[in-house]
Amino acid sequence: MIFPNQQCEENLYSQGYNRIAGVDEAGRGAWAGPIVAAAVIMPRDFYLGGICDSKMLREERREELAFEIKKIALAWAVGVIDIGYINQYNIGSANRKAIEEAVKNLRVKPDYAVIDGVCGGKKGNGDEQGYAHGKPHTGHPLKREGVCVFEYIKDGDAAVYSIAAASIIAKVARDRILKKEHLKFPCYGFDKNKGYGTKFHQEALIKNGICEIHRILYKPIRRIMEGE
């Protein structure tokens, strides 16, 4: 297993940034349930071993690491965007909003955020996504509302320590939500598949139809709704 390092953070520290938030989301590709983003500011002088992309960890290990991360982090927070928003708008908008809420919910304001993924197909700059200067224009909410300087890093959850930490917090938070949803809608197996399109989930949809937390804008769900 390849573990992320702190090279990105050290480069930013050398440029004068002190409070660096790693940000990642969980649930973008799921067929049901909310999307959850997490933001984490890790301490500069302490490295917590075992942190890596949440997808590479067993559920029990994620829970253990989430507990440890929360204990040592300078700040951590989540943003949860529910199915109502996802179905009214789209998952891209919901993803950006979840990121915005997670960063804004931090009790310690970051001066830089590194976010897993790609925005606009390229690394951020002042016009596309880089400096969050807060002028009234459309675009990424972190820039529009003047939250902080930020950039997207492709596969950041596998390479950047603080993003990997955020991926664990986001995944654990969302999994807990889906386990609760399973109690209301047990036929879909949300406790196991966490809303993703597994074979069991697909068969349950064909047999039972959709429930109130399914993402009706998603093509597989729409096909089932239309009886294809």
Q: CA–CA separation, 87 vs 93, rounded Å?
A: 11
What is the four-CA torsion angle of 149, 113, 15, 161, rounded to 10 degrees? -170
Q: CA–CA separation, 17 vs 78, rounded Å?
A: 22
Q: CA–CA separation, 103 vs 75, rounded Å?
A: 10
The answer to whether 82 is annotated as binding is no
The answer to whether 24 is annotated as binding is yes
Q: CA–CA separation, 166 vs 52, rounded Å?
A: 10
Instruction: Choose among 195, 170, 196: nearest CA to 180.
Output: 195
Instruction: Choose among 158, 43, 177, 21: nearest CA to 99.
Output: 21
Tell me the helix, strand and coil percentages in the chain, rounded to 5: 45, 15, 40
Q: Alpha-carbon torsion 171, 173, 179, 181, what sign?
A: negative
Q: CA–CA separation, 114 vs 160, rounded Å?
A: 9
Instruction: Choose among 134, 117, 90, 125: nearest CA to 23.
Output: 117
Residue 189 gets the label, from left (phi > 0), alpha (psi -120 to 50) or beta, of left
Binding-site residues for a divalent metal cation: 24-25, 116
Binding-site residues: 24-25, 116
